[in-house]
């Protein structure tokens, strides 16, 4: 069986303990993203199984119908917005999923970015590396308001950390978020407008769905304080296209910490955020730590082993009639 793993640009998967679960199969790993669609088709054409690392590759109908050998897309994680599940089903391609969704690593990164950006750590570390000494003044966390947009599993951990640092927690989101906030003694914003106006640090923890795409718009960001920080470790598409860049250029909010982008990976420093001293950028590190990778990839490789043994799979498209 030929397994292809595209866009494995971290060069980490063969070093995972769980990699042994797919030993005995032909495995082709591509580090760099394909140059274009046709190059991607050529890379994936030999595959019986493709390991989809979260949302790094878009499995459109146009792509799936060009892969006649493909029988299984083994997804790393529980869901992906970049797979056309209907197209996969129409072409007899099974899509298996993981079962775990640990909030710990992304919550930790969110807090780290919040502290780093609020206290100018990255800016000052780089200035010191260049031999400079005069320092900027930063903003303390204690006593400031941490806005949590979506008090789910990740947002809850971030709120706990913020409260531990002496921050006032303000929550906005669906009814369930408001209910949890009140149960935990947090404040609930009276409105979306008030939420953006009152937050000194605002962290996005909303799941990306059709109804949440672009849920943060230009008018929301314009309400933020010039001293405020917005943190996004969730999905870039939660913010309307171009809205955050324009808002930062306009000075409201004054700062951003970003781990997710409309286009990934970003290479050769090719992004306007990287030229802005008031933005801290990390390369989609939210889930990227050893324990998470061992957990998620083990579940993916177990599904491939189950497929090879003719055993049932966890399918995102359970009505599929598999290719022979």
**Could you report the per-residue pLDDT of 103-140, keeping only the tens digit for each?**
999 999 999 999 999 999 999 999 999 999 988 999 99
pLDDT band at 292 (very low <50, low <70, confident <90, very high): very high
pLDDT value, residue 324: 74
- Tell me: the pLDDT tens digits for 134-183? 889 999 999 999 999 999 999 999 999 999 999 999 999 999 999 999 99
Kindly report the pTM of this predicted structure: 0.93
Complete DSSP assignment for 14-57:
GGSGGGGGGTTSEEEE--SPPSSHHHHHHHHTT-SEEEEETTSS
Q: Both 77 and 220 in a single domain?
A: no
Q: How many domains does the chain have?
A: 2
Q: Both 243 and 120 in a single domain?
A: yes
Count Cβ atoms below 10 Å from residue 10 Cβ, excluding itself.
14
Q: Both 57 and 117 in a single domain?
A: no
pLDDT band at 248 (very low <50, low <70, confident <90, very high): very high
The answer to whether 215 and 191 are in contact (CB under 8 A) is no
Q: Both 86 and 123 in a single domain?
A: no
101: Cα separation from own chain's centroid? 12
Rounded percentage of the chain residues whose pLDDT exceeds 70 = 100
pLDDT band at 101 (very low <50, low <70, confident <90, very high): confident
Structural domain of residue 248, as residue ranges? 104-281
320 belongs to a structural domain: no
The answer to whether 300 and 63 are in contact (CB under 8 A) is no
Nearest to 281 by CA among 311, 248, 314: 248
Catalogue the active-site residues. 235, 264, 284
């Amino acid at each position: 069986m030929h397994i292809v793993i595209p866009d494995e640009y971290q060069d980490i998967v063969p070093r995972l303990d769980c990699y042994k679960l797919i030993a005995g199969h032909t495995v082709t790993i591509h580090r760099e993203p394909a140059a274009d669609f046709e190059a991607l088709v050529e890379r994936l054409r030999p595959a019986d199984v493709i390991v989809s690392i979260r949302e790094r590759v878009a499995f459109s109908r146009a792509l799936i119908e060009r892969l006649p050998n493909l029988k299984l897309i083994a997804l790393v994680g529980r869901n992906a917005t970049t797979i056309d599940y209907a197209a996969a089903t129409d072409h007899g391609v099974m899509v298996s999923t993981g079962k775990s969704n640990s909030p710990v690593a992304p919550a930790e990164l969110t807090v780290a970015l919040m502290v780093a950006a609020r206290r100018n750590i990255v800016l000052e570390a780089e200035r010191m590396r260049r031999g400079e000494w005069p320092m900027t003044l930063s903003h303390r966390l204690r006593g400031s308001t941490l806005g949590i947009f979506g008090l789910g599993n990740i947002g809850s951990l971030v709120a706990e950390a913020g409260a531990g640092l002496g921050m006032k927690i303000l929550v906005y989101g669906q009814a369930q978020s408001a209910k949890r906030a009140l149960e935990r003694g947090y404040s609930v914003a009276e409105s979306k407008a008030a939420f953006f106006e009152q937050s000194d640090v605002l962290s996005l923890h909303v799941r990306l769905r059709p109804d949440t795409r672009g849920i943060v718009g230009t008018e929301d960001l314009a309400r933020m304080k010039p001293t405020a920080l917005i943190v996004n470790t969730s999905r870039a598409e939660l913010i309307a296209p171009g809205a955050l860049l324009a808002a930062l250029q306009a000075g409201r909010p004054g700062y951003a910490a970003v781990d997710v982008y409309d286009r990934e990976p970003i290479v050769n420093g090719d992004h306007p955020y990287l030229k802005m001293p008031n933005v801290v950028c990390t390369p989609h590190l939210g889930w990227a730590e050893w324990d998470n990778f061992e957990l998620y990839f083990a579940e993916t490789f177990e599904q491939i082993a189950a497929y090879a043994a003719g055993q049932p799979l966890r399918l995102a498209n359970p009505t599929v009639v598999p290719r022979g």
